[in-house]
Amino acid sequence: MHVVGYKPQEARSNKSINGFKRRRPFTFSLFFQGFSYLQLNLISLFLQLFSLTIARHHQINHLLHFIPSNGSRRSSTQLHTHTHLLHQHL
């Protein structure tokens, strides 16, 4: 029996796709679980590092206010503009 608009080639390709799905569901699920776990770890690590750098910038900013500027005004203003840019991004 031949169905109109249904080619035997399509049936063959569907069989191969189904066979592929049947063969490897376990490895794919393991891969995705591992990948999501890695993503979560990387995100938490990045957030920890980012919060540390923000805290460091605040400390440096506060320290610079107490240091008397003896000609080293340029470096301190560079650092201030850098922290200002950092805060603009937040």
CA distance 83 to 74: 14
| pTM: predicted TM-score of the whole model, two decimal places | 0.29
Buried b (16+ CB within 10 A) or exposed e, 74-90: eebeeeeeebeeeeeee
> 44-71 pLDDT, tens per residue?
888 888 888 888 877 777 777 766 655 5
Q: What is the pLDDT of residue 88?
A: 52
CA angle 42-45-48, nearest 5°? 150
Please count the other Cβ atoms lying within 10 Å of the Cβ belonging to residue 61.
16
Reduced DSSP (H G I as helix, E B as strand, rest coil) percent helix, strand, coil of the chain, to 5? 85, 0, 15
Mind listing the pLDDT tens digit for each residue in 18-29? 555 555 566 667
